Chain A
Amino acid sequence: DARVTQTPRHKVTEMGQEVTMRCQPILGHNTVFWYRQTMMQGLELLAYFRNRAPLDDSGMPKDRFSAEMPDATLATLKIQPSEPRDSAVYFCASGLVPGTTDMGYTFGSGTRLTVV
């Protein structure tokens, strides 16, 4: 089965450091989402892309977060500088939209970020 690959799986970093999380979407998928999961907030949509173009990043703290898709095989989420409140599991998901009967998003295994 095709998979969405996220790296690293775990990251522990000190407050103030830059963090980069990577996602390899499924080949042929044109849409990539970034979600953050915490106990308090659940699954929050941070940003998403269609054909590598950002469609909506209103869920991201703009001053410290940035999301890009330098090419069709790589999506990145950066935090600079990181803060303890950024500790969460970050999920990437990809899918093919619109309107196909197979539409549904495939999630990666997530990056568990701990900022100390």
Chain B
Amino acid sequence: AQSVTQPDIHITVSEGASLELRCNYSYGATPYLFWYVQSPGQGLQLLLKYFSGDTLVQGIKGFEAEFKRSQSSFNLRKPSVHWSDAAEYFCAVGASTGGFKTIFGAGTRLFVKA
């Protein structure tokens, strides 16, 4: 069974500063990895995903994430944060075999200060 950990419950960054949100997973094979964003009162929107190939993945809204197998990590980054990026961010890990069961981390809430 897989598991996923987002160590930071919340993070505050200044507008224009860079951002890195951490995600660590546990799974016996190469997982499917996802980052989703949720604005208050809304559903979840897919930012990016990794299945195979290039370990640096580009997503929407200027986000990218890097899969590091040796560290079991899939951290989300953005070079310059905008106030509209304030939201909750979820990392998810999907099994790459069988039923492709997908579970989510606890989320990291991002606050952006002017």
Contacts and interface: CB of A to CB of B under 8 A. Distances in A.
Interface string A26-45: 00000101010000001101
A109 B99 contact: no
A109 B90 CA distance: 16
A55 interface: yes
Contacts of A99: 51
Interface residues of A, number: 24
B101 A45 contact: yes
B43 A103 contact: no
A12 interface: no
Interface in A22-71: 31, 33, 35, 42-43, 45, 48, 50, 55-56
Interface of B: 32, 34, 36, 42-46, 49, 51, 90, 96, 99-107
Interface of A: 31, 33, 35, 42-43, 45, 48, 50, 55-56, 91, 93, 97-99, 101, 103-110
